[in-house]
Chain A
Amino acid sequence: MPKKVWPYVFLAPFLIAYLTFNLFPLLYSLYISLTSWNGFGAMTFVGLDNYRTLLRDTAFFRSVGNSFLIVLEAMIPNQIVSLTLALILNYNLSKRATTFFRNAFFLPYITSPIAIGLIFMTVFDGSYGLLNTLLRNVGLESLCVDWLQTAAASKPLVAFVILWRFGGYVAFVYLAGLQSVDTSIVEAARIDGAGFIRTYCSVVIPMIRPIIAYQATLGVIGCLKTFEEPLMMYNNSYNGGPGYAAQTMNMRFIQVAFKNGQYGYGAAVGYTMFAIIVVTTILFYVLANRNKT
């Protein structure tokens, strides 16, 4: 076989699977978004009608708003908490202690999100849940509410669950970044009289800024795609709790396309979500990497 062919041979399994089972359905869904189709009968081409309907679909816009609020309430605290944890873990712990904390912090991350939703459904339960039991035991009975029935609580609860799931993992990503920082630079800063906090804020964190920007971008993408946790927390309901308060874009998309069987319109909802995610990601990434030092 001529040498020029070999790279394509190595690429073939990946490329064939990618084109057939990823790219093709993605493009075909774009076409479906221009049709009226219930999943079985004939597809009727309707042009941009679905997208016109979407412009007046308040339920969809509400879900978009919910998703962005979840980005704010989950992604930002997640980066702050993870970075703080990484700084602490970097403080000269023994190898055994680091391994212990790593395994403990990774457990939520590797647990299936469906199980996580169900776990927190029991934690936040109004009558027998862990949270209210704790509050009662420390005499804060007045703070007990039926968490899952309170619309105002739903996005913060989802955000907390996301933080619980990802916080420890992201902390270890940041720790790997911190450990790649040259120690002599840190020592130099200390010799120049910079204190602990000053050293971190003005020397170490700027050095790992690309990692922070990358992790925050991944966090934005992940939060915008949130789906399984709120679904299970609210009893496998696609409405996302009281008053649709935690119905995310992705939940709305799957509800419209597959649960209501409006495949054509659902594909349009999906593609709009797709566009929102891509544009937000690019904007965020550019902003986060601005004034690179």
Chain B
Amino acid sequence: MVHAVKRFSPGRLALWIVLLFVTAVALVPFIMMLVMSTQNNYEIFSGASFRFGDHLMKNLESIAAVNFPRSMFNSLVIAVGTTVLSVFSSAMAGYAFAKWHFKGKKVIFFMVLATMVVPMEVGYVAFIYQMRLMGLAQTFWPLILPNVANAAGVFWMTSYMQDGVPYEIIESGRIDGCNEMKIFFQLVLPLLRPALYSLSVIAFLGSWNAYTLPMLMITKSEMFTIPLSIASLGNMQIADYGARILGVVVGILPILVIFLLTSKYVAEGLTAGSVKG
């Protein structure tokens, strides 16, 4: 919507003050964590301040001892696996729903939608047992497999393809004699590129941040993911608060970097999906 006035006005100033205040509220906890992660106990307990201390290296040594680099690697493996599998399965399923007619389509699509309301945690009671029976309990698979079926991803891919992929392209592939797999991978997928980027980053974030299932499945500390390591920092009865906070900072830093590099895709993906629904 276009408003006539763009020059300076008191109203406009007020809007900016509100926006900057909200920005401060959003960012100050992050900045404070950064500062505290460089302090020692004495500095932290003398009250929150925004003066950097010089204990960063000492705190880094403390958290390196709790296997932090290892959990970061674990989180990366799980998140990449989840992202690749869930993006492909969502794109393929979305293609089936958007561009094909088949028996049971409505029922299956309704099931997909219903999944978004269900608290999946309820199924974990049996899932842990199932994984044990399948011999997967002490692997990373239990953290990947349940997320391969990504209901929100399928829903979004379906609505994206309804408008974004013209039937003419599919038909032209058939006339050229391509088989259906080739049509999907060579003609349809390239059209989905922006949506695939968004979906990938969102799937990655979801997996990287997941806590409940890893907490229930993983017992060995060398298999910990980042949120598990952060939670165990919270549990530690260490007097070393700076190190504990540095753990949080190091744990969320990769996510912040990924987000800032891909913020356009993340923001578009997250908002487009929600407005359409």
Q: Does A80 contact B (CB under 8 A)?
A: no
Contact present for A274 and B119 (CB under 8 Å): yes
Residue of A nearest to B28 (CB): A130
Majority-rule SS of B interface residues: helix
Q: How many residues of A are counted as interface, with CB atoms below 8 angstroms from the partner's CB atoms? A: 104
Chain B neighbourhood of A139, CB < 8 A: none
A14-B148, A106-B266, A277-B117 known; A130 vs B29 contact (CB < 8 Å): yes
Q: Does A228 contact B (CB under 8 A)?
A: yes
Contact present for A176 and B272 (CB under 8 Å): yes
Interface residues on B, range: 35 or more
Please measure, in the bound complex, the distance between the C-alpha atom of A169 and the C-alpha atom of B259, giving whole angstroms.
13
Residue of A nearest to B228 (CB): A114
Chain A neighbourhood of B149, CB < 8 A: 14-15, 17-18, 21-22
Chain B neighbourhood of A169, CB < 8 A: 270
Please measure, in the bound complex, the distance between the C-alpha atom of A24 and the C-alpha atom of B251, giving whole angstroms.
33
Chain A neighbourhood of B47, CB < 8 A: 128, 133, 136
Q: Does B33 contact A (CB under 8 A)?
A: yes
A209-235 to B contact mask, C-beta < 8 Å, 1/0 = 001001100100100010110001001
Q: Does B126 contact A (CB under 8 A)?
A: yes
Chain B neighbourhood of A13, CB < 8 A: 85, 88-89, 92-93, 148
Please measure, in the bound complex, the distance between the C-alpha atom of A114 and the C-alpha atom of B118, giving whole angstroms.
21
Please measure, in the bound complex, the distance between the C-alpha atom of A266 and the C-alpha atom of B112, giving whole angstroms.
26
Nearest-neighbour CB distance to chain B for A293, whole angstroms, equals 19
Please measure, in the bound complex, the distance between the C-alpha atom of A218 and the C-alpha atom of B47, giving whole angstroms.
38
Nearest-neighbour CB distance to chain A for B148, whole angstroms, equals 4
Q: Tell which of A15, A85, A167 has the most Cβ of chain B within 10 Å.
A: A15
Contact present for B211 and A103 (CB under 8 Å): no
Q: Does A258 contact B (CB under 8 A)?
A: yes
Please measure, in the bound complex, the distance between the C-alpha atom of A15 and the C-alpha atom of B148, giving whole angstroms.
10
Residue of B nearest to A26 (CB): B123
Please measure, in the bound complex, the distance between the C-alpha atom of A91 and the C-alpha atom of B17, giving whole angstroms.
13
Chain A neighbourhood of B73, CB < 8 A: none
Nearest-neighbour CB distance to chain B for A200, whole angstroms, equals 10
Chain A neighbourhood of B36, CB < 8 A: 122
Q: Does B156 contact A (CB under 8 A)?
A: no
Q: Does A240 contact B (CB under 8 A)?
A: no
Please measure, in the bound complex, the distance between the C-alpha atom of A172 and the C-alpha atom of B36, giving whole angstroms.
30
Contact of A186 among B1, B33, B48, B95 (CB under 8 A): B1
Contact present for B259 and A173 (CB under 8 Å): no
Q: Does A127 contact B (CB under 8 A)?
A: yes
Residues of chain A having any CB pair with chain B under 8 Å = 1, 3-4, 6-15, 17-18, 20-26, 28-29, 31-33, 39, 85, 88-92, 99, 101-108, 110-115, 117-123, 127-130, 133-134, 136, 164, 167-169, 172-173, 175-181, 183, 186, 211, 214-215, 218, 221, 225, 227-228, 232, 235-236, 250, 253-254, 257-258, 263, 266-267, 270-271, 273-274, 277-278, 281
29 contacts between A and B (CB under 8 A): A11-B102, A13-B85, A15-B108, A17-B85, A21-B146, A22-B120, A26-B120, A32-B125, A91-B3, A101-B23, A103-B259, A105-B22, A107-B27, A110-B256, A112-B208, A112-B255, A114-B211, A114-B231, A115-B227, A118-B231, A118-B233, A130-B32, A169-B270, A173-B274, A176-B274, A235-B234, A270-B122, A274-B118, A274-B122
Residues of chain B having any CB pair with chain A under 8 Å = 1-3, 6, 12, 15, 18-19, 22-23, 25-30, 32-33, 36, 44-49, 85, 88-90, 92-93, 95-97, 100-102, 105, 108, 111-112, 115, 117-130, 145-146, 148-149, 154, 180-181, 184, 205, 208-209, 211-212, 216, 226-227, 230-231, 233-235, 241, 244-245, 248, 251-252, 255-256, 259-260, 263, 266-267, 270-272, 274-275, 277
